[in-house]
Structure formats: structure tokens, C-alpha cells
Amino acid sequence: MRLSYPTNIKIVKLPCTGKIDVLYLLKAFESGADGVYVAGCMEGDCHYLTGNLRARKRVEYAQKILDEVGIGGERLAMYNMSAAQAARFVEVAEEMNTRIKELGPSPIKKERAQESGIRSQEPEVRSQNSELKDP
């Protein structure tokens, strides 16, 4: 079975979400992402023991920073799923895509567009995840 997710989702693969850093998350927004979600393994089921727990804390910290700077922490999320849950990955991708479309372009993108006189494009969502496989 071949599953597809929205084409504006850009995937960045990591060996473990524990590798994610707050700076990576913030840099994604600076680089033009309108939303970012981290898809990690199930809590308590991390191959690297606590990688997904560290990732969740970092995501929560980055959300606070995004709120403080006016971008909005709701543009960043973390989801836990197993590598066998490809359908869940697609569901989350579509959910996040809908959320970002409702929020509209990132304030950073809006500001840059106003400065350059260019109209913003369709919102972009980036997913940073460990390997997920189709069942």
C-alpha cells in the first residue's frame, strides 16, 4: 500500500528525534517554514532510551520561544508514533497541514514578503522525524 501526504511537507530524517536541537527548529522557521512537526517514536519505546523525551522537552521550549517572539508556538508540534504507523504519519501530516493553512503564512514570511513586495505562497510544513516505513 502506497500512502501519500501533502506535497508541501518537507521531511528531514534523523536517526533519533533526541538529536533535534532547539536551534534546528527555530532555523526551520527562519528559513521559511510556516510550521514544523517532529515525529518521534512512542514514549518509552525509544531505541536510544530517552531520545524522544529529550525531543519533547526541546519542542516545548522552542514553542515558548516562538510564542515570545510572536511567531506562535502552535506552529510547532511533536507527535509520537511507531515506524509501522505510516497511516498515522499521513494523518498527522494532513492535520498539521490544515492547522498551518488556517494560521496562514508565518509572520516571518509575511514580513519578508512585505519588504520585497512579493505575495506569500502556500504555507509550508516541515516534518523532522526518525525513519517511518510503510507497513
The DSSP line for 59-125 is HHHHHHHHHHTTS-GGGEEEEE--TT-HHHHHHHHHHHHHHHHHH-S-HHHHHHHHHHTPPP-S--E
* DSSP-derived secondary structure letter, 3: -
Q: What is the mean pLDDT of residues 110-126?
A: 65
Nearest to 100 by CA among 66, 76, 70: 76
Backbone angles phi and psi of 123, in degrees to 5: -55, 145
**Is residue 133 predicted with pLDDT exceeding 50?**
no
**Is residue 135 predicted with pLDDT exceeding 50?**
no
Q: How confident is the model over 77-90, as pLDDT tens digits? A: 999 999 889 999 99
Q: What is the pLDDT of residue 56?
A: 95
**Is residue 120 predicted with pLDDT exceeding 90?**
no
Q: What is the mean pLDDT of residues 27-42?
A: 94
Q: What is the pLDDT of residue 49?
A: 85
CA distance 12 to 60: 19
pLDDT bracket for residue 111 (50, 70, 90): confident
Q: What is the pTM of this model?
A: 0.81
Q: What is the mean pLDDT of residues 47-57?
A: 91
Q: Residue ranges of the domains in the chain?
A: 9-129
Q: How many CB atoms neighbour CB 39 within 10 A?
A: 26
CA distance 118 to 44: 46
Q: How many CB atoms neighbour CB 65 within 10 A?
A: 15
Higher-confidence residue: 3 or 98? 98
CA distance 19 to 32: 21
pLDDT bracket for residue 123 (50, 70, 90): low
